[in-house]
Amino acid sequence: MCGIAGFFSTDPVSRSTAERMLDTLRRRGPDAQHQVLWDAAFGAAGDQIHNALLHARLSIIDPRPLADQPMVNDAGDIWISYNGEVYDWKNDAEELRRRGLSFRTRSDTEFILKAYEAWGIEFLSRLRGMFAIAIVDLRKDQVWLIRDRMGLKPIVYSHIEGSLAFGSTLRSVLPFLPADRRGFSGEGIDAYLAHRYIPAPRTVFEHVRRLENGHWLKFDLRTRQIETRRYWNPQPQPAQWLPLLDEAIAIRTVADRPLGVFLSSGIDSSVIASRLSRSGMRDIQTFTAAFPGSPMDESRQAEAIARVLGLPNLPIDIPTRISADFERIVADLDEPFADPSSIPTWYLARETTRHVKVVLGGDGGDELFGGYKRIEKHLRSRWRRGFKLDWLSHLADPQPKGWRKWSSELRMSWLESYSLRFSGFTPGQRLFLQPDRGAVANTYWRFPAVEADSPMAALLELDWENYLPEYILRKADLCTMAHGLELRAPLLDHLLYQALLAVPENLRFTRPPKLFLRPACTELNDIDPFNQKKRGFNPPLANWLGVDLADRFRDLGERLAAVTGNQMSAAAVTQLVARYQGGYTALAEQMLQLLILDESLRQLNILRRDMAHA
């Protein structure tokens, strides 16, 4: 698990630019940082740097310097800079050895490099795991950027006038951008207001894009053009799911660094812990976020689960005061990102990394088994399907609920309106906050070309395209990698995912949700996590906003208007804040959203100004 970046420029680039790009990645890869710099012809760079691969390493498999990156093949004509973990590749490595290829390390990095050398881009069908990969193929004058199927690992890029730059984060690409191409995206800001995050392929910068999950990008070093393509569409593959689950967990326990488990009282993490315990791995430390005194605290239930399974458990108290860390947290979230649970996740990862460097988590269970409450609510209106009332208009109003939100939903098709089930500001609120935009998009989600056969499958496919990779998994990656902690998600193994797609819906989707998984954790029958109320991972938001972050509301409207070039109205923001502080608590999550936007844009604005004068 690491941080990657690089560029392929038509014009010379300063060494300080490469150094600043690499420096932004040090928290993701604290164990080693390296760079390879080339001139325009991919010779050794002197004063004229045109091309670069950069890498910051978190050493998990084969921590020797021999396995550091960027890594090159024996012929010296294929390079790789890679972030992630690929599992279960030993048999493919043996096939490569039979072809005459040799290995100097035990790292999956070298396997990926040699696999590409032997099989070309088709090697992707052999990768099982999470990855963001950059490959420079000097044989064919091509650069490949590749993101894993589920979207566990991020990669962003900028293609401007024949030059390409990429990185694990926006902040790693920002130093490369010309001063006149560092402008914020008005559409990106509106997308953030709509969804609490900015869905791929957009970002908060006009000239930076995010590669979608299950896609690759090819850059031709001769024509300087890019091509993007989806390389994987999940297909049902019948298989015995429980042995496949055990395999998915087992291959993710392979590491040369200490390993632990994130354990809540929920079903997903309990299943993983149960299977580990049953396999005999009972020395694995579990870690639980604790909210002392809060009705949302799950630490006692988690401790009981761990005790039954014979696993050690460490509760980690989440601070009730976050003001001292707020700026650091927002910086680690990279661009505006307002999932309230990202804050406790950040604290959980900060403490966990002091004990282990790899942790298993339960991400993906709700997307696999329809666990979200919003799914059941939305299915009640499935009779509407393609019906919509185009004549209804979005009236600009700060009211978060009521008939205005209902009217926004009716202006969209049934499938499109699912994105409003988990949203930030309604279309009407966004018009109120941005009165000069004239119109706002209904949604910035991506939709499949062909709708799935059933309503439930259609909603879960939307989550897989949007919510899972760009919200759940982005949060998980950013909050753990900020502390040099690798998070692995067994439930998102793509072979397990395809096996579950083949399970009939009447078996896979239950009420209460996830009863299908009961055979995976029979040890917990006395505790029965399946009939517990779903709690989520909700922090003490009212206290944070009313006490700890209260000073940040002063002049918030003026600051947001200034940093967005008056895209947001100072008066509208001030009115919305006054409404919340006057007792309209339903706006709490939107208030956090505004505070994070303010701090994130402030930081990014300082960075782009400082770089312009560097």
Which domains are seen in the chain, by residue range? 2-230 (3.60.20.10), 541-612 (no CATH)
| Reported confidence tier of residue 404, pLDDT bands at 50, 70, 90 | low
When mean pLDDT is compared across 176-185, 249-258, 560-569, 605-614, the lowest value belongs to: 605-614
Helix (H) or strand (E) holding 609: helix 588-612
Q: Which two tokens stand for residue 526?
A: 């006395």
Position 68 scores a pLDDT of 95
| Reported confidence tier of residue 441, pLDDT bands at 50, 70, 90 | confident
pLDDT digits over 160-200, tens only? 999 999 999 999 999 999 999 999 999 999 999 999 999 99
Of 108 and 529, the one with more pLDDT: 108
pLDDT digits over 101-152, tens only? 999 999 999 999 999 999 999 999 999 999 999 999 999 999 999 999 999 9
Position 402 scores a pLDDT of 47
Helix, strand, or coil (residue 348): helix
Residues 6+ apart with CB under 8 A from 609: none
Position 445 scores a pLDDT of 96
pLDDT digits over 221-235, tens only? 999 999 999 999 999
Cα–Cα distance between 9 and 17 in angstroms, integer? 12
Q: Report the percentage of the chain scoring pLDDT > 90.
A: 81
Position 391 scores a pLDDT of 46
Cα–Cα distance between 174 and 331 in angstroms, integer? 14
Q: Report the percentage of the chain scoring pLDDT > 70.
A: 94
The model's pTM is 0.95
Mean pLDDT, the chain, rounded, equals 92
Beta carbons of 587 and 433 less than 8 angstroms apart: no
Cα–Cα distance between 221 and 483 in angstroms, integer? 35
Long-range contacts of 561-568 (CB under 8 A, 24+ apart): 563/184, 563/598, 563/601, 563/602, 563/605, 564/184, 564/186, 564/189, 564/601, 565/184, 566/436, 567/186, 567/189, 567/434, 567/436, 567/437, 568/189, 568/433, 568/434
Average pLDDT over residues 227-253: 97
Fill in the DSSP letter of residue 44.
Answer: B
| Reported confidence tier of residue 403, pLDDT bands at 50, 70, 90 | very low
pLDDT digits over 355-391, tens only? 999 999 999 999 999 989 899 989 988 877 666 655 4
Asked whether the predicted pLDDT for residue 397 surpasses 80, the reply is no
Asked whether the predicted pLDDT for residue 574 surpasses 80, the reply is yes
The secondary structure of 441-480, three-state, reads CCCCCCCCCCCCCCHHHHHHHHHHHHHHHHHHHHHHHHHH
Nearest to 439 by CA among 419, 411, 470: 411
Radius of gyration of the chain (CA): 24
Cα–Cα distance between 378 and 455 in angstroms, integer? 10
How many other C-beta atoms lie within 10 A of the C-beta of residue 4? Answer: 32
Position 84 scores a pLDDT of 97
Through-space distance between the first and last CA atoms of the chain, rounded to whole angstroms: 30
